[in-house]
Amino acid sequence: MIIIDYNDKRPIYEQIIERFQTLIINGVMETDEKLPSVRTLAVELSINPNTIQRAYTELEKDGFIYTVKGRGNFVKRDEEFIRKHREKLLAGLEEQARTCMKQGIDRQELICCIEKVTEEVLA
């Protein structure tokens, strides 16, 4: 379910956050589904439990999961939250596109870039 890319320059906890966000937003993980325990996931990925805890803390802070004391972490799937999260992502893309255009990248180059990313993700 979670795969770490050691060639990725981002910290491991950020990769874990992104993967869980993707699984939750795409409905792969159901509402109220229990996440693996910190210890279990740390052993499975052969990483420090503090890294998993940091990822879970950020996911909870961002509204993707909730914690029940003594029971663990669970998926919090709220359609309104997901809609707002997608809007936020698209706003970031719009801002990046504006920056690119202001710095001389033309419309066709932007379209080609988006098509390239789309092909890579769907492959």
Q: Which fold, 12-77?
A: Arc Repressor Mutant, subunit A (1.10.10)
Q: Which two tokens stand for residue 12?
A: 């491991």
- In this structure, of 1-10, 68-77, 105-114, the range with the lowest mean pLDDT score is 1-10
Which of 13, 7, 11 is closest to 38 using CA atoms?
13
Question: Residues 81-93: what's their mean pLDDT?
Answer: 89
What pLDDT is recorded for position 81? 80
Which of 22, 101, 102, 5 is closest to 113 using CA atoms?
101
* Confidence grade of residue 42 (pLDDT, cut at 50, 70, 90): very high
Question: Residues 89-99: what's their mean pLDDT?
Answer: 94
Domain ranges of the chain: 12-77, 80-122
Q: Is the pLDDT of residue 122 over 90?
A: no
Pairing of strands 65-68, 72-75: antiparallel
Record the pTM: 0.76
* Confidence grade of residue 49 (pLDDT, cut at 50, 70, 90): very high
Q: If DSSP states are collapsed to H, E and C, what string results for 25-82?
A: HCCCCCCCCECCCHHHHHHHHCCCHHHHHHHHHHHHHCCCEEEECCCEEEECCCHHHH
Cα separation, 5 vs 11, whole angstroms? 10
Mean model confidence pLDDT for the chain = 92
